[in-house]
Amino acid sequence: MEESASKGDVFLKWLVVFLLSLFVFNYYFFFASWTGSYLPYDRNWEEYTIFTPVDINDPRQIYEIDKFVYSYMIEPRPVIISIVSFIVLCVSSLVLIRKLIRYIKEKNKIEIIG
């Protein structure tokens, strides 16, 4: 009985980590994207582009990754936090998926035996 309760507690802890990292990622990614959206309004926007082809003359065609890098140059903290929270989000989702698969396998094994 205690084993299943501790497994449930671990699952809930990972679920809380997943939900918190999802919230943090959404908030800081939005903030970083907002900062990066000012790149087309900069007079020297060509100097800040890395991945956008050189022959692009319209600032509306700047790649999103360049806006993200520009956001890192202007305000690095939200970009770093969004990247770290994305990594935590990926790890916690993988752990939750593994725990769900194990739970389903144990449930099916019990039903087959019983």
What digits encode the pLDDT tens for the residues 29-59? Answer: 999 999 999 999 999 999 999 999 989 888 8
Q: What percent of the chain shows pLDDT beyond 70?
A: 89
How far lies 25's CA from each of 8, 60, 70, in Å? 25, 25, 18
How far is Cα 37 from Cα 34, in angstroms, rounded to an integer? 5
Domain range for residue 31?
A: 2-113
Using pLDDT thresholds of 50, 70 and 90, give the confidence band for residue 103. confident
How far is Cα 53 from Cα 66, in angstroms, rounded to an integer? 11
Task: Give pairs for 105-114: CB < 8 Å, separation 24+.
Answer: none
Distance of CA 76 to the CA centre of its chain: 16
pTM of the complete model: 0.80
What's the total number of domains in the chain?
Answer: 1
pLDDT of residue 4 exceeding 80, the answer is no
